[in-house]
């Protein structure tokens, strides 16, 4: 993991999308209901679970449910998570990628797609920031899957993936800066060997 003053960077051909400043306010609103109890949240789950964030992943693990896909970066609210959380959520991490803050790079998009395609629970350890990966996860996950991410100081946001959520996330991602055409090709193409 990088130190705070060493933000990870990607080669130009690996950088896909960057969050523009004028979209940040839209991402502050939760995309689904907020739950503070992981066991109660899990009662509403009947498909694969994609967890975005260390604390969310930890709470799901504590409730006895290993997410099908977990994305963690060792941080919460811009600070390092405590050792107990870090050890629990990184145990068995199977993919490590770089993804700079406020960006969606090719490595994390490929890792997300690979994790969604496998039958084994997969933890993606992100050097940088994983927060924005909730957006492409909602687009790429199968209908009925649950994408769960943290809402700072409020709880866990539970998005049950359906066509309406996918359309909303597609629209949002289209408004990012960068190579949206290549982003969609990487997220949706299953034949490029990634």
Task: Answer yes or no: is 56 a known binding residue.
Answer: yes
Place of tokens 């629209």: 171
Residue 130 annotated as binding?
Answer: yes
Listing from the earlier edge strand, what are the strands of the sheet with 15-18? Answer: 103-105, 15-18, 177-178
**In angstroms, what CA-CA distances link 25 with 19, 68, 79, 126, 188?**
11, 29, 21, 24, 27
Q: Give the CB-side neighbour count of residue 98, counting CA atoms within 13 A.
A: 12
54 is in an annotated binding site: yes
| 55 annotated to a ligand binding site | yes
Q: Residues comprising the binding site? A: 54-56, 73, 130, 153
Binding-site residues for GTP: 54-56, 73, 130, 153
């Amino acid at each position: 993991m990088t130190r705070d003053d060493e933000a990870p960077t990607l080669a130009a051909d690996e950088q896909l999308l960057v969050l523009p400043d004028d979209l940040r306010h839209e991402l502050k609103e939760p995309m689904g209901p907020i739950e503070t109890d992981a066991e109660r949240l899990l009662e509403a789950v009947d498909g694969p679970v994609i967890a975005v964030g260390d604390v969310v992943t930890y709470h799901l693990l504590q409730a006895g449910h290993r997410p099908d896909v977990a994305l963690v970066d060792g941080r919460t609210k811009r600070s390092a998570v405590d050792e107990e959380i870090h050890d629990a959520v990184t145990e068995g991490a199977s993919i490590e990628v770089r993804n700079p803050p406020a960006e969606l790079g090719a490595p994390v998009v490929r890792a997300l797609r690979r994790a969604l395609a496998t039958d084994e629970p997969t933890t993606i350890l992100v050097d940088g920031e994983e927060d924005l990966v909730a957006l492409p996860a909602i687009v790429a996950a199968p209908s009925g899957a649950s994408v769960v991410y943290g809402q700072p100081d409020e709880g866990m946001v539970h998005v049950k993936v359906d066509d309406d959520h996918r359309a909303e996330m597609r629209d949002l991602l289209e408004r990012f800066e960068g190579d949206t055409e290549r982003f969609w090709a990487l997220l949706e193409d299953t034949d490029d060997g990634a």
